[in-house]
Amino acid sequence: MTRAGLAALWSHWRRNPLQLFTLIIGLALATGLWSGVQAINAEARASYDAAAASLGEGRYDQLLPRAGARFDQEIYIALRRAGWQVAPVLEGQLSVPEGRVRLIGLDPLTAPAGLVPQDDTGTGSAGLAAFMRADTVFAHPGIADALRASVPNAVVAARRLAPGTALADIGAAQRLLDRPGQLSRLIVLPKQAVGLPPIDSVAPDLRRQPAGQGSDVGRLTDSFHLNLTAFGLLSFAVGIFIVHGAIGLAFEQRRGLVRSLRALGMPLRRLIALLALELVVIALVAGSLGVVLGYVVAATLLPDVAATLRGLYGASISGDLQLRPSWWLSGLAIALLGTALAASGALWRIARMPLLASAGARAWAMTAGRARRWQAAGAAVFLLAALALVWLAEGLILSFLCLGLLLIGAALALPAILDRVLALGTRGARSMRWEWFWADTRQQLPGLSLALMALLLAIAANVGVSTMVSSFRLTFTAFLDQRLAAELYVSPATPEESAEMQAFLAPQVEAVLPILSVDTTLAGLPASLYGARIGPTYTENWRFLQAGPEPWPRVARGEAVIVNEQLARRADLWPGDTLRVAEGLALPIAGVFGDYGNPVGQAIVGETLFRDLYPEVRSVRFGLRTGDPDAIRAALTERFGLSEGQIIDQAGIKRLSLQVFERTFTVTGALNVLTLAVAGFAMLMSLLTLANLRLPQLAPAWALGLTRAELGRLELLRAILLAALTLVLALPLGLALAWVLLALVNVEAFGWRLPMYLFPLDYLRLSGLALLAALLAAAWPARRLARTPPADLLKVFAHER
């Protein structure tokens, strides 16, 4: 019985291979996009963890300076001699030809076990001696060669280190970074002796940061990964629409079969079990396909993601993907979950179907009237909730929730709205043929509504994201123009060289603008403090988002500080508030400036004040205002032997910044295209499956004199009409989406709010694409209809039930 039942159920798929194909592809796409995005996130997280592990962040409490980025190692000795088991760490950036390397210095004697790596060859004690004698630097294999070329030390590749990271003995690090006697932080070991004096009494300048809160990069990039996850979820949802459609159709068509099987004595329970088993097998096959697809997606996108994260947050993640077994499991699990989600309704209906209920093959879900009313009610609830969240949302998760509610609400509202519009069309029809066309389109709506919802979401996401990206691009370019005012930027090798050059250049240029900065903590957040030599470059070019009276003169006099938008928003500090810039010095905030593309907070004080606060910080890089950049460049090259790379002109920096920016959104763009493609596919599949069911409805029209070719053309027209109507609704939805992204998500994720610009030409192009997709999706079914043998149409009347 079981075997016979299975064979009977399976025969449906044999007779409808296209439906099976749709089901499997839909599920595989959903699983693939989802697990691809998850894989990217997992890979990035693994990289962050490796980076954090190399510092013991996460596992150990740390002692950090209350102000500034470094402190004297005598404080370390004082703590050790007071009995505290702490281990010193010095961190810094090392310039190599290919970019910058994060160098970490550790003391292998006091560092917690496991922080100091063995080299890959495991030379052991010679390794420790060499490490401690300051001539070995361990480096991630990706940067080992670049490092070898730029430091005199022996460089050993060590896989365990995070990408872009190198590790050396603390003494070697102090020399390589030119920070003699300086430390960045202390690791507090978990096992401490009894009766120690409080840390504050020994080292009042250090603050203790509990374990697990250290990974700034992880926190900063959270928003980015949430973004990716949201996209993955969107793709998954679109895929599940397809699966839901295919399963619903298959079950609907097998109502007769189900009735027959039950009439033949198969218990309902076993029948349900068989149907579930069938779905599990399909889900596993599709899930496996999906995982492979996910791997391809992840492997293709990962280099761009890596570039994005590096550009946006300075976070290094590995560009190559490792196949992890956990993927297979999570991929298959999500496929099963998705199938269960999509099939639960259909299974429920079969479970509740009276044994002898009419098995009449109603056209798929024709009882949609009531469902549509429910959908409309649901849509109203979702949209109202989204609206409420616009006012109430705080935090990234709620902002995304608002986004989600908006999208789902709009998708649910779509069938009801289209139904109204089509009803209007019917009323306005002049001839019988067009009246039939409108009515028939309306009749088809329930069957197509899922595909149309997918299309709506895809178009809206496209409009929303492209509006955000383009708005960002405009703002960012304008920002670069005002920010990069200096004609030349010079990067000497040492502070001494820099001072000499600045002195040499001062009489020849309009202004020398030294770049003075320290990494510090402001208002409890990681931030950079800059000292600016305030002159016309600043006063004429910089625009403030908000400012008190005369911001620049007050900053120049050391009476005020200006902060970037990120800091202002995160700490809720605005003009008029005060900010503690250093121990015992709080200054009023004179203005807030936009600072796009920078993850951390920033504050600017006058150069004089900065030099008072941080006499040990010397400027290395500086900008130059000059009317004749070429002559200055030539003079610098000739006199100081600077290489090409050490003098960058304004255009070069802008080009570089824009490149970083463009790569930032490559991933988003790619996911956008994928979503649109999935939606197009959903439409194609819906039309194809509907085409067979619709013969009984088309046959009378054919019998009344419409030719097959005309029927085909009308099919095509219908698809375009529906796509166009969806498009009309998708545009405002997309703009609403863009607004939420710019005004809510961006603020939470990056700390800045961007003005929204509209790009009608882009939307026009997108509309063209969407219509083209609909046309392509409808072309094949229409062509098939136009070539349906008249005998098939005639059979409809013969088989009339």
**Residues lying near other proteins in the complex (CB under 8 A):** 73-74, 77, 80-83, 85, 107-110, 113, 116, 118, 122, 124-125, 127-129, 132-134, 169-172, 174, 180-181, 191-195
> Residue 130 or residue 368: which is nearer to other proteins going by CB?
130
Integer CA distances (angstroms), 231 to 159, 234, 352, 404, 454, in order? 32, 5, 36, 11, 14
Size of the chain, expressed as the number of residues it contains: 801
- CB burial class (10 A; 0-12, 13-18, 19+) of residue 582? buried
706 sits in which H/E element: none
> Residue 70 or residue 310: which is nearer to other proteins going by CB?
70
* Closest to 130 measured CA to CA, from 163, 148, 108: 108
CB burial of 323-350 (b: ≥16 within 10 Å; e: otherwise) equals: eeeebbebbbebbbebbeebbeebbeeb
Tokens (6 digits) for 468: 């955000």
**Could you tell me the smallest distance in angstroms from the CB atom of residue 616 to other proteins?**
18
State the sign of the Cα–Cα–Cα–Cα dihedral 514, 520, 522, 525. Answer: positive
> Residue 200 or residue 320: which is nearer to other proteins going by CB?
200
> Residue 72 or residue 510: which is nearer to other proteins going by CB?
72
> Residue 169 or residue 607: which is nearer to other proteins going by CB?
169
> Residue 196 or residue 272: which is nearer to other proteins going by CB?
196
**Could you tell me the smallest distance in angstroms from the CB atom of residue 193 to other proteins?**
4
> Residue 125 or residue 367: which is nearer to other proteins going by CB?
125
> Residue 110 or residue 443: which is nearer to other proteins going by CB?
110
**Could you tell me the smallest distance in angstroms from the CB atom of residue 75 to other proteins?**
12
- Asked if 182 and 73 touch (Cβ cutoff 8 Å), the reply is yes
Residue 470 sits at φ, ψ, to 5 deg, of -70, -40
**Could you tell me the smallest distance in angstroms from the CB atom of residue 648 to other proteins?**
35
> Residue 107 or residue 278: which is nearer to other proteins going by CB?
107
**Could you tell me the smallest distance in angstroms from the CB atom of residue 124 to other proteins?**
4
The alpha helices in 484-618, defined as continuous H runs, are 495-505, 536-541, 551-556, 565-571, 607-613
**Could you tell me the smallest distance in angstroms from the CB atom of residue 158 to other proteins?**
14
C-alpha atoms less than 13 angstroms from C-alpha of 323 in its C-beta half-sphere? 7
Q: Please report, to the nearest 10 degrees, the dihedral formed by the alpha carbons of residues 221, 222, 224, 229 taken in order.
A: 150
* Closest to 340 measured CA to CA, from 280, 269, 413: 280
* Closest to 25 measured CA to CA, from 202, 235, 243, 186: 243
719 vs 477: CA distance, rounded Å: 41
**Could you tell me the smallest distance in angstroms from the CB atom of residue 86 to other proteins?**
10
**Could you tell me the smallest distance in angstroms from the CB atom of residue 557 to other proteins?**
42
Q: Please report, to the nearest 10 degrees, the dihedral formed by the alpha carbons of residues 772, 774, 775, 777 taken in order.
A: 120
**Could you tell me the smallest distance in angstroms from the CB atom of residue 111 to other proteins?**
10
> Residue 80 or residue 625: which is nearer to other proteins going by CB?
80
**Could you tell me the smallest distance in angstroms from the CB atom of residue 108 to other proteins?**
7
- CB burial class (10 A; 0-12, 13-18, 19+) of residue 558? middle
